[in-house]
Amino acid sequence: MEKINEFRMTLWAKSVNEGFCRAAVAAFAAQADPTAEEISDIKTAVSEAVTNCIVHAYPHTDGRIYLSCQLYRDGRLRISIRDTGCGIEDIKKAREPLFSTMGGDRSGLGFSVMESFSDKMLVRSRPGKGTTVILEKRIRGRT
């Protein structure tokens, strides 16, 4: 399917950028005329992926988040959220609902939410190298 638009950005892995990332992807998706529900789903999934880069990827250092977005002619939006942080030891385990390596107020729902609020989620990770999450969402729009 033909790609009709794309954007890429790099940000510091700081929590203040969570809202910025959601807003940026939502603004980019707006050209496909999504419904309010589709926009809300996209923002939710992006927020989870970006938050994971901020919370988990760089425990001891400053780091960056690489966000890119492609829009295809059929309304498919493909969002890639990548970090070069610590990576995930056991992806299968990490994707299980309620699994978290962090205590406090983390609930271990991030991957479940991403999966449920997008059409497709792909996770690639290598310990010590980093993690890439690809989210796909078909925007059917208001027609």
Partner 1 sequence: MPVQLTAQGKTLFALLSGDIDHHTAPALREQIDNAVTEYRPRMLCLDFSAVSFMDSSGVGLVMGRYRHNAAFGGDTQVCGLSPSAERIMKMSGLGKIVSFKKNAEGG
Active-site residues: which are they? 48, 52, 106
Q: Which range in 2-10, 35-43, 58-66, 122-130 contacts partner 1 by CB under 8 A?
A: 35-43
Closer CB to partner 1, 70 or 100, in the complex: 100
For residues 83-112, b (16+ Cβ closer than 10 Å) or e, as one string?
A: bbbbbbeeeeebbeeeebeeeeeeeeebbb
CB neighbour list of residue 44: distance below 8 Å, 6 or more residues apart:
113, 117
Closest distance of CB 122 from partner 1, Å: 19
Q: To the nearest whole angstrom, how small is the minimum distance from the Cβ of residue 93 to ligand ATP?
A: 8
Give the nearest distance from C-beta 98 to Mg ion in angstroms: 11
- Stretch of residues binding Mg ion (CB under 5 A), selected from 26-34, 44-52, 124-132, 135-143: 44-52
Nearer to partner 1, 2 or 105 (CB): 105
